[in-house]
Structure 1
Amino acid sequence: MNIMMIAVVIAVAAIAAAAAVALRVTWKLTHPRRKPVESRPEEYSLQAYESVSFPSRESGITIRGWYIPAEGNGFEKSERTLIFSHGYGQNRLEPHLPALSLAADLVSKGYNVLLFDFRNSGESSPALTTIGLREQQDLLGAIDFVKATRPEQKIGLVGFSMGAATSLMVGGLDERVETIIADSPFYSLQEYLEENLPQWTGLPRFPFNWLILTLSPLMLRANPRHVRPYEAVRQADKPILFIHGTKDATVPCSNSEQLYRLVTHEASRLWLVPGTGHVRSYPHDPEAYIDHVIDFLRHAWNSEAETKSFAHAKKPSPID
């Protein structure tokens, strides 16, 4: 065997090994370890709630969660439901918030809350995790569920990280959704992964970024190029609140800044929270977080006359 042949064999072996590693890492990224649902609403003084299940828009997937009404927990009956969407590798609890604490705060302000587990999370059906692509079908299923069981409800979406991006993509286009709160979303999954994939994989940018981003759509039929929150934001004629920590090293706050530049509704807002990390704005200062969210929702769900006058106001600057 001559030197050229040896070199070719070594090169082919190296490429095959790199491709095998890339596929293995891709499989792990799309099958994150499922976290159990270990807390209950009662631990946050939410005594009245319903354990619910409903189909995703994708056949064969059952989504599970809790519907927590304001009425029954000591507050007036509400006709507004906020649907929470959790981040990658988490579940309905979003434990670093925790989501139940935020839900309790919002219920006390007169909002109903639906928390659910995306596919392959918590107690929902096993399936491929696609970082916002097919998860849109799960969120659509949640909206279908609320509208089918409580047709009088007005719907707002509250998402965190991957769930924020998913909320933007679904809520931006679905006319049943009236307002969106996006905490730490990414602008575009393809662009985000091109820049940040080594942080997820622990592998060198070359050659693994190219291998993973090229092979995964072919093997998994899930292309990150199709996860484009920015396109939905451009088309969303509804109020959107972006919340992002300025010290977010996972999804830099520039993602929300870019998205905010695309909004079309004058009631949209951007709140940049100084010194906080990824999805850490609520635990950093729960009172300030609730104040910003409630003020935004009250403007977003104002009377028709007030909404018309508010729409002529200048789009506000980020709140420091």
Structure 2
Amino acid sequence: MSTTSLKTVTGALQPTIDHVITQPFLRKKKFITTTLLALLLIGTSILLIFHAYIAWTLGRPHIEPLHSNPMKSVRLPYSDVSFPSYNGKSKLDGWFIPAGGATKTVIFSHGYGGNREEEWVPLYKLARELHAQHYNVLMFDYGYVNPSNHRLMTGGIQESQELLGAIEYVKQTNGGSIYVWGFSMGAGTALQAALQQNGDISGMILDSTFLLNADTLYLNMNQIVHVPKYPSLQLVRLFFPVLNGVSLRQVPYTQVTTTSYSMPIFLIHGTEDNKAPHNLVEAMFKQQHNTSSKIWILPGAKHELLYRAEPKTYVSRTMNFLNGIESSTAAAVQPNLGIPSSL
């Protein structure tokens, strides 16, 4: 075969050879690209589902049923009570423990994931101490505790309306001085309610104050699973209103933490609180101008375990705080009998 003929044949075969070589390469490249895209899609889906699950569970905490009552636990007679939230959007159930005609009442504001019992605090023992000091006690469940309410946790937005409903209930049925004793998110809820009340709260004790903002949300997320702040925090805040019907941006965090409240406040917190840093309440205390307000930071104490850390001191300090306010109030309303001050 001549050289010219060989070149002709080779030239004719070249496209076929190139096709045979290129086709497997293109198939392999397409397979790799498709696989990478599929993995990216699966990874993104898992990421989104994971953060949606976190947002979903935040609004639906697991809550144990009631195990006892004031009579069984601490031999205190009580009555079952029901009342609406201040805005009428939910109905609340609770126990009212009377103290022999007393006109001063303490309302317990329980924390996230708890109910009116909140045994780890423990509320029954505190109710018994208050009863001994001649205070009525109202223990109630926030609306998200009762499944029949079909309501989710809102970070204090609706809960503050429910606490205001509890205050209104005491005003209408008993009157007198009303104190709020809040724990964790229940303490944060009390502060939100205090922004909206009209002088109805005589004082507040706030134990392990928790406010749901970006920093505390990420702090608690990171204890469950280590995730980067970005984009995890943004994704949870994105999904929360979609799945729970309320935006965390509605929580008035800045207003709550910078307000000087008219009533005396006793802030109690532990240095080892891994859910709400103690510097939050220390900064809040600096904003307070009521001279009867107090702060107590317990070294080494953990979130909502302050009573268990120092039970005797805890009881004596909280009771002295309440009784001090009562004494000041009573002195302020004493009628002027015209007796010379020199006597």
Q: TM-score, normalised by structure 1?
A: 0.85
How many Å apart are 1:124 and its aligned residue?
Answer: 7.0
Which runs of structure 1 show a deviation greater than 6 angstroms over 4 or more consecutive aligned residues?
2-6
Aligned to 1:225: 249
Relative distance call for 1:304 and 1:178 in structure 2 (3 A) is: closer
User: Which consecutive residues of structure 1, in runs of 5 or more, have no partner in the other structure?
Assistant: 72-76, 309-320
Aligned to 2:81: 52
CA distance in 2 between counterparts of 1:230 and 1:187 reads: 10
Relative distance call for 1:66 and 1:124 in structure 2 (3 A) is: farther
Question: Contact 1:56/1:139 (CA < 8 Å) preserved in 2?
Answer: yes
Aligned to 2:284: 259
CA distance in 2 between counterparts of 1:7 and 1:13 reads: 10
Amino acid at match of 2:90: I
Q: Secondary structure at the match of 2:204?
A: strand
Relative distance call for 1:249 and 1:50 in structure 2 (3 A) is: same
Relative distance call for 1:304 and 1:112 in structure 2 (3 A) is: closer
Question: Contact 1:184/1:245 (CA < 8 Å) preserved in 2?
Answer: yes
Question: Contact 2:74/2:125 (CA < 8 Å) preserved in 1?
Answer: no
How many Å apart are 1:56 and its aligned residue?
Answer: 2.0
Q: Secondary structure at the match of 1:287?
A: helix
Question: Contact 1:91/1:117 (CA < 8 Å) preserved in 2?
Answer: yes
CA distance in 2 between counterparts of 1:94 and 1:120 reads: 15
Moved more, 79-88 or 7-16: 7-16
1:1-320 equivalences in 2 (<5 Å): 1=30, 10-71=39-100, 77-121=101-145, 125-150=149-174, 152-174=175-197, 175-187=199-211, 189-199=213-223, 201-202=224-225, 204-205=227-228, 206-229=230-253, 231-232=255-256, 234-303=259-328
Moved more, 299-308 or 126-135: 299-308
Relative distance call for 1:2 and 1:139 in structure 2 (3 A) is: same
Question: Contact 1:187/1:259 (CA < 8 Å) preserved in 2?
Answer: no
Identity level (%): 32
Question: Contact 2:185/2:211 (CA < 8 Å) preserved in 1?
Answer: no
Q: Secondary structure at the match of 1:263?
A: coil
Q: Deviations over 1:10-37 (max 9, x none)?
A: 4444333311221122112211123111
CA distance in 2 between counterparts of 1:170 and 1:190 reads: 21
Q: Secondary structure at the match of 2:54?
A: helix
Aligned to 2:27: none
Question: Contact 2:92/2:141 (CA < 8 Å) preserved in 1?
Answer: yes
Relative distance call for 1:305 and 1:105 in structure 2 (3 A) is: closer
User: Which consecutive residues of structure 2, in runs of 5 or more, have no partner in the other structure?
Assistant: 1-29, 334-343
Q: Deviations over 1:238-281 (max 9, x none)?
A: 11000112222222222221221221212111011222211111
Q: Deviations over 1:279-314 (max 9, x none)?
A: 111122222111111211123233359669xxxxxx
Question: Contact 1:187/1:256 (CA < 8 Å) preserved in 2?
Answer: no
CA distance in 1 between counterparts of 2:254 and 2:312 reads: 30
How many Å apart are 1:173 and its aligned residue?
Answer: 3.5
